[in-house]
Amino acid sequence: MDLNVKQSGIHSCVLHTSYFKNRSGKVYKRAAERYLRTDLPCGLAQCEDCRDFGTNPLLKTENPVKNSKVGRHVLIVDSTSLIRFHDLFDSELLRNIIVTQTVWEGVKAKAVPAYKKMNSLCYEDAKDRFHVFMNEFHCETFSDIPKYEDVSRGEELLLSTANYLTSHWEKQNVTPVLMVFDEESKKRLEKHYQHVLHLKEYIQNLEDSGKQALLDQMAAYESSANNNERQIFEEHLSHDKIMEGIANGTIKRGTFSVSRENYREATVIIDDQLNSWFITGNHCNRSVNGDVVAVQLLPEDQWTCPEKKIRLRDVEEYVNNADDMGKVEEDDEDEPKAKKAKKNSVPTAKVVGIIKRNWRQYCGMLLPSSVKGARRHLFCPAERLIPRIRIETEQAEILSQQRIVVAIDHWPRDSKYPLGHYVRSIGEMGSRETENEVLLLEHDIPHAPFSDQVIDCLPKEEWEPDLNDNRGTLPRVDLRHLTICSVDPQGCTDIDDALHCKQIGDDLFEVGVHIADVTHFVRPNTAIDDEAALRGTTVYLCDRRIDMLPCLLSSNLCSLRGEEERYAFSVIWTMTSNADIQSVKYHKSLIKSKAALTYERAQEIIDDPKEQDDVAQGLRGLMKLSKVLNSQRTSNGALTLASSEVRFDMDWESRTPKKVMEKQHLDTHSMVEEFMLLANIQVAKKILEEYPDCALLRRHPVPLKESYKPLIEAARHRGFEIIVESGKGLADSLNRCVDKKNPMLNRLLRMLTTRCMTQAVYFSAGTVPVPQYQHFGLACSIYTHFTSPIRRYADVIVHRLLAAAINADDIQSGLLSQARCTKVCGNINYRHKQAQYAGRASVQLNVVRYFKGKVETCEGFVMGVRNNGIQVFVPKYGLESIIVLQPGSGTTIDVEEMAVKVNGEAVIRELEPVTVKISVNEKNQQRPRVELQLIKPAIPGLSVDFDLSTSEGLGL
């Protein structure tokens, strides 16, 4: 070999032969040259010989956890341990681990989930604890000729690596320890190498109390492997079979969505037209809410339809005998039966495979076991859409009064429940801090303090605006002379938007919307931008706000506070009194808001004829024009929808609610909304014109006619007809649904309409056909979000696009990537949805806190009639609960007529008022809940069960 090759680190070249099978099973031989090297690092930080060859993380700091079996050591792990127990290696107790190239390739070939975990540990999450040793390219460890007859090639290469490192580290006083899967493997390798431990043995000898959690985690796997019960679920198809079925159209893919009313039912949307297939019972086949699944349509004679029955896990599975967990239930009611009447049947499918798991770590509590001293327990997730999880632990007594975190490991075919392991404890059950932490974790809300890198991106607190500080060729415009004011909720400190209006002619007005210029401070490819992109949105809870941006920006330097100079991004129209737009201009600006008003104060100024200053005149002009804009939108078919919203008067010292109030709608709310909508539409047109393939837009898909069925039926039973052929027809028919005897009817129908809608979503222009750009709820062909960059990352991107379009800033290369825009949209859609859910969960949590020790009688309305109960909505508290019919009471429920009957006579119908008593039921100390008791009309057999989550809302 040439000298220059030797000096490059290459030791020799060998011809390596390997064998592999193709898909049809035919065996092929492959021969290739392999260059063996001398310069591959061993991974030990103290090794002088390998110091210059690469990263060496092992034993960089001494292991704080000792093992009674071995002294100072490094672990060489086998592939089976990583495949079977890859989640165990998240633990900090398992350190200084070598993954050989042979093991790496073996895991990659056999188990994709284990490979992803291994890759993450070695190169991202725990790279200080792991080292990948390229044993098949090292001249001292490569072996092509078998030396031992009783071990596999993989085991032989592990032995070769261990023997080499033993001699290599002789001066370092470090022992390479082979860590294998089981006792049998240990006995086989011990014949050829002294230091071999199986995984469980190694963990048992750790001198740390945390080892018990790891042993509990292992126990769940072992009990599953030893379980010989008959199979409950069908076997999943292989990946190749699933892909083949998708290609020929016999299998569809989609996201598995569990019903909030019946945990035994789910749907999967199978195409862009929002068509869905219904799935029930064991056909769900071990799917968990949010999984991407492969589904296959059943024969039409097996189609069924939703039961219209309330089934909550809280009712049916509260206490389980530990000995029965995982066995097949023989209860006939456990598996819903197909409906005999086929007239209402819907396309029904079964899950044939899981394409992508949506598993995460879940917060919740242990359910009590009827077996004293049992190791097997059921974990109840806080999220009701997630099934119970079976775990094994000897710490049940300690954990029973705590909120804990559990992870799913796998879900075998013979187990009714997925199997998992205990991860950590959050805190004492019932404490405010613990319950708030559960809420944030369950909704995946990033809430850690901002990092030092993010804080370093901030300007100094004494920063002052400079009119000449421009980022692009278009100069910033001085608008400090204008009478600009903001109108926001009481207590708002993150003021995104302000407005102005002045008359400039006989029938001509100048109207401006001025939005905080966040992008001046949040520059692309910085730590603060990355953090804002991750968080996606500010999250508003009842007792706290979790900002997307640090407080210095969100509540100070970006916030358009009264009487303070601030940078803004302005959209200014010239329009007539009929709101006919004559011109529009966009520019960065410097403004000075004359007043930061609340909605209530702005309304008072508009209504008080004594108020005649410039602020009052501007507000009245805005109000008149907003009503014209609203009339134009509604005539085009824009929907006016409703939802239940409450706010709390909080005691900020104890952070407990003193008073609950339903939000009151004022004309000033609509005034601000109209101009924000107009600005968003105008900016959407501008950025789409400039960037037709990557503009970030927001669309609201047209709902399927089938989704309106609950609304149509509810209105029909009240004597009204709902037209759903168009948005205009729907809006007009809702306006006609007025009952003087029941003033709440129209609002309730609008709430039901909201529940029929799909969520509005962000998307990149060019990724869907242009007709699908429309926003159905707003009746506009194009829409985006521009007006709230302090609290929404989507608006930050739109600001950058608009600034580049008008030469107010340079264009960032990433903004022109459709793929990157699509990725950003995926994250902010998810964050926006989770923030909505977290806000509603916070309201529900604080309603429970408010009613502790209190009892109140309120008016409620029947929002749904099911086969075994009714849903009751209490507007005053935004509360919705289920009242379940007890068997044998003589009371019947007619779902077709949406009525509760006593002796054949309808006593309660859907959307009718009822009187209920509200209190907190604390019989179950682990899960106190708001309870409704029906007071009027008095009906035998109706009693209360668990709260039902409120509807999703449209999220315009």
pLDDT of residue 388: 93
Q: Which one-letter amino acid corresponds to residue 311?
A: R
Place of tokens 């029909």: 716
Q: With bands split at pLDDT 50, 70 and 90, how would you rate the model's confidence at 454?
A: very high
Q: Which segment of 86-95, 341-350, 391-400, 704-713 scores lowest on mean pLDDT?
A: 341-350
DSSP 291-359: -EEEEEEPPGGG-B------B-HHHHSSSB-GGGTTSPP--GGGSPPPPS--TT-B-BEEEEEEEE---
187 neighbors 181 (Cβ within 8 angstroms): no
pLDDT in tens, 473-518: 788 999 999 999 999 998 899 999 999 999 999 999 999 999 999 9
Residue 842 phi, psi (nearest 5): -65, -40
pLDDT of residue 322: 39
Share of the chain above pLDDT 70, in %: 91
**Residue 823 structure tokens:** 């990725």
pLDDT of residue 334: 47
Dist CA 232 CA 230 (whole Å) = 7
pLDDT of 794 strictly over 50: yes
Q: Within the chain, which residue ranges are assigned CATH 2.40.50.140?
A: 852-936
742 neighbors 730 (Cβ within 8 angstroms): no
Place of tokens 């014109």: 689
CA nearest neighbour of 778 among 667, 644, 636, 645? 636
Strand partners, 660: 648
775 neighbors 699 (Cβ within 8 angstroms): yes
pLDDT of residue 139: 87
Q: With bands split at pLDDT 50, 70 and 90, how would you rate the model's confidence at 152?
A: confident
Q: With bands split at pLDDT 50, 70 and 90, how would you rate the model's confidence at 6?
A: very low
Q: Within the chain, which residue ranges are assigned CATH 2.40.50.690?
A: 232-318+341-358
Starting at the earlier edge strand, list the strands of the sheet with 595-598. 477-478, 581-592, 565-575, 508-516, 497-505, 485-488, 595-598
Burial of 52 (0-12, 13-18, 19+ CB in 10 A): exposed
Residue 278 phi, psi (nearest 5): -95, 140
Dist CA 571 CA 275 (whole Å) = 40
Burial of 580 (0-12, 13-18, 19+ CB in 10 A): exposed
Burial of 274 (0-12, 13-18, 19+ CB in 10 A): middle
Neighbouring residues of 872: CB distance < 8 A, sequence distance ≥ 6: 860, 861, 862, 863, 880, 881, 882, 883, 914, 916, 932, 934
Dist CA 632 CA 636 (whole Å) = 6
pLDDT of 370 strictly over 80: no
Sign of CA dihedral 152, 153, 157, 163: positive
Higher pLDDT, 451 or 171: 451
Q: Within the chain, which residue ranges are assigned CATH 2.40.50.700?
A: 359-429
pLDDT of residue 219: 72
pLDDT of residue 333: 43
pLDDT in tens, 226-255: 554 568 899 998 888 899 999 999 999 999
Q: Which one-letter amino acid corresponds to residue 440?
A: L
pLDDT of residue 954: 39
Task: Identify the three-state secondary structure at position 900.
Answer: strand
Angle at 600 between CA 596 and CA 606, to 5 degrees: 85
Quote the distance between the C-alpha of residue 948 and its chain's center: 19
pLDDT of 406 strictly over 80: yes
Dist CA 380 CA 365 (whole Å) = 5
Domain 40-224, CATH = 3.40.50.1010
Return the H-helix or E-strand segment holding 639: none
pLDDT of residue 367: 85
pLDDT in tens, 826-858: 999 999 999 999 998 898 888 888 888 889 999
pLDDT of 664 strictly over 90: no
Average pLDDT over residues 268-281: 89
pLDDT of 661 strictly over 70: yes
Average pLDDT over residues 608-613: 92
Higher pLDDT, 16 or 814: 814
Quote the distance between the C-alpha of residue 664 and its chain's center: 30
**Residue 905 structure tokens:** 């006579």
883 neighbors 932 (Cβ within 8 angstroms): yes
367 neighbors 358 (Cβ within 8 angstroms): no
pLDDT of 20 strictly over 70: no
pLDDT of 590 strictly over 90: yes
Residue 68 phi, psi (nearest 5): -70, -15
pLDDT in tens, 711-724: 999 999 889 999 99
Dist CA 833 CA 825 (whole Å) = 12
Residue 35 phi, psi (nearest 5): -95, 115
pLDDT of residue 884: 80
pLDDT of residue 491: 87
The CATH architecture to which 232-318+341-358 belongs is Beta Barrel (2.40)
pLDDT of 948 strictly over 80: no
pLDDT of residue 340: 44
Question: With DSSP H G I counted as helix, E B as strand and the rest as coil, what are the percentages for the chain, rounded to 5?
Answer: 30, 30, 40
pLDDT of residue 658: 75
**Residue 745 structure tokens:** 């009817």
**Beta-carbon neighbour count of residue 740 at 10 Å?**
6
**Residue 635 structure tokens:** 């005539």
Q: With bands split at pLDDT 50, 70 and 90, how would you rate the model's confidence at 765?
A: very high
Q: Which one-letter amino acid corresponds to residue 184?
A: E
pLDDT of residue 226: 53
Angle between helices 745-756 and 727-736 (to 10 degrees): 160
Angle at 852 between CA 846 and CA 855, to 5 degrees: 110
pLDDT of residue 818: 93
363 neighbors 381 (Cβ within 8 angstroms): yes
CATH topology of domain 852-936: OB fold (Dihydrolipoamide Acetyltransferase, E2P) (2.40.50)
**Residue 473 structure tokens:** 């060729």
- In this structure, the strands spanning 196-198 and 175-180 are parallel
CA nearest neighbour of 98 among 175, 167, 36? 175
Q: Which segment of 213-217, 342-346, 465-469, 597-601 scores lowest on mean pLDDT?
A: 342-346
Average pLDDT score over the chain: 86
Angle at 194 between CA 193 and CA 195, to 5 degrees: 105
Strand partners, 404: 364, 425
Q: Within the chain, which residue ranges are assigned CATH 3.40.50.1010?
A: 40-224
Share of the chain above pLDDT 90, in %: 50
pLDDT of residue 104: 92
pLDDT of 866 strictly over 90: no
**Beta-carbon neighbour count of residue 472 at 10 Å?**
15
Return the H-helix or E-strand segment holding 637: none
Specify whether domain 359-429 bears CATH 2.40.50.700: yes
Q: Which segment of 229-233, 735-739, 883-887, 922-926 scores lowest on mean pLDDT?
A: 922-926
pLDDT of 626 strictly over 60: yes
Longest dimension (CA), the chain: 102
Average pLDDT over residues 787-814: 93
